[in-house]
Structure 1
Amino acid sequence: MTPSTAEHPQMPIEDFEELADAAPQHVRLEFVNGRVRTTEPLSVEDFEELERRAPETVRLEYINGKLEVKAVPDGKHRSIYLWLMRQFLAQRPDLDLAPESGVKAEAYRKGRARTDAVLVPVDHLVGHGEWSDTGGILMALEITSRDRDTNKRDRVEKPVGYAEAGIPVYLLIDRDDNTLKVFSEPENGRYQRTASYPWGATVELPAPVSVTLKTEKLKDYA
């Protein structure tokens, strides 16, 4: 079988060593050319145990049955999130844009995705553990990072995983081509509607989100 892989452009060897030392005894990790690999297929239960033990500097996901390492956000990434949070707070004070939320994605909730944020009713996440069921989540947010997995993970795999889990809207803020991509109407494991807007456009997010984004400010983060 092909080992599971994950990538991060600048993962310090010290972080890998700490992660490997903390891993459950039967989970073996390798670090080759900047990639973290499991030597055997990883179950979702083993992933959750590994994630619980991981150092705070390492953010892990479980996508399509494979271990992924998500890049730590940089300053522009955080600024884009804060800009977006202000828009939602002004227009939908009944909702929380909860940052860095773990969700049970994909068919049968077998994936574990660490979103940049989820949009939920105020206090919806009270009592949830590390990985929330997607029932009640109105939107998932991803802001692309400068890592080698961005294309496959944020643009290809996560739209499928979020649609399969029934999240009504997926908003992708893409820093590579300066666009906002809005995925909506999940049905049969796929979003039936996709729209792309350049930074600077006025973007109407569909129901149940129902927020209008005036995105001229995003040009400051290009």
Structure 2
Amino acid sequence: MSAMPHEPLTQADVLLEGFLALGTPEGFRAELIEGEIVVTPPPDGDHEDYISRIVKQVIRQSRTEMDFSGNKGLKLVGSPGSSRNHVIPDITFAPADLSLFRGADSWMPCDGVAMVVEVTSTRAQVDRESKRCSYARGGIPLYLLIDRGASALTLFSEAEGSDYLQRRTIHFGKVLPLPEPFAFELDTAAFE
């Protein structure tokens, strides 16, 4: 009995293999987004302050009890012809009754995720465009972008294909209504 010949590796396969074998320096994070390996340095204090303010409000005010994870790796559908995206949101929220994070691998599927949050940093266009499209293709219902360069928050909703059909933008200092399962008004007064 002869061995079956292996199918040749595609460029996307080689890229994914190389990405998964990366030795990223401590504190840095590496993501594979739309066929590009993106490495970002540790976040600054303002970045973490925004994250903290969002998490506190969601925990205190959300209609549905939420679990959250900072820097949880998600496997998402890639654009046609590219490998699966491996993206690390700044915050990932999921209903607590799903226990989504318990026992999850480093890179988990996005099924059950209610919302992801990104705070722009050194590569803001990745958060504004590439990650938005990746999250939409993954079917993540809500994507909240805190855009420090624009002093604004944008909530993307109604994922369809590779983008969201709805977006609502407010400037820092205003309130942003979050839909179910959150169902409260996110206060950004302290973001200014």
**Is the TM-score greater than 0.5?**
yes
Q: How far 1:170 sits from its partner (Å)?
A: 0.2
Q: Which residue number corresponds to residue 80 of structure 1? A: 50
Alignment of 1:1-222 (within 5 A): 42-50=14-22, 53-92=23-62, 94-107=65-78, 110-122=84-96, 123-145=99-121, 147=122, 149-151=123-125, 153-219=126-192
Q: How far 1:199 sits from its partner (Å)?
A: 0.6
Per-residue CA distance 1:38-61 (angstroms, 9 max, x = gap): xx87522321121xx323232101
Q: How far 1:187 sits from its partner (Å)?
A: 1.3
What secondary structure is seen at the aligned counterpart in 2 of 1:77? helix
Query: What is the identity, as a one-letter code, of the residue corresponding to 1:134?
Result: C
Any conservation in 2 of the 1:99–1:117 contact (CA below 8 Å)? yes
CA distance 1:111–1:190, change in 2 (3 Å):
same
2:184, 2:104 → 1: CA distance?
Answer: 26
User: Percent of pairs identical after alignment?
Assistant: 31
Q: How far 1:65 sits from its partner (Å)?
A: 1.1
**Could you state the TM-score of these two structures normalised by the residue count of structure 1?**
0.74
Any conservation in 1 of the 2:34–2:78 contact (CA below 8 Å)? no
Per-residue CA distance 1:64-102 (angstroms, 9 max, x = gap): 111111231101111111111110110136102211111
Any conservation in 1 of the 2:117–2:145 contact (CA below 8 Å)? yes
Q: Point out the more displaced range, 96-105 or 129-138.
A: 96-105
Any conservation in 2 of the 1:98–1:117 contact (CA below 8 Å)? yes
Query: What is the identity, as a one-letter code, of the residue corresponding to 1:214?
Result: D
CA distance 1:48–1:211, change in 2 (3 Å):
farther
Structure with larger RCO (C-alpha < 8 A, sep 6+): 2
- Structural RMSD (CA): 1.8
CA distance 1:56–1:184, change in 2 (3 Å):
same
What secondary structure is seen at the aligned counterpart in 2 of 1:43? helix
Structure 1 unaligned blocks of 5 or more? 1-39
What secondary structure is seen at the aligned counterpart in 2 of 1:181? strand
Any conservation in 1 of the 2:30–2:39 contact (CA below 8 Å)? yes
Query: What is the identity, as a one-letter code, of the residue corresponding to 1:78?
Result: E
Any conservation in 2 of the 1:178–1:199 contact (CA below 8 Å)? yes
What secondary structure is seen at the aligned counterpart in 2 of 1:67? strand
Per-residue CA distance 1:24-43 (angstroms, 9 max, x = gap): xxxxxxxxxxxxxxxx8752
Query: What is the identity, as a one-letter code, of the residue corresponding to 1:98?
Result: S
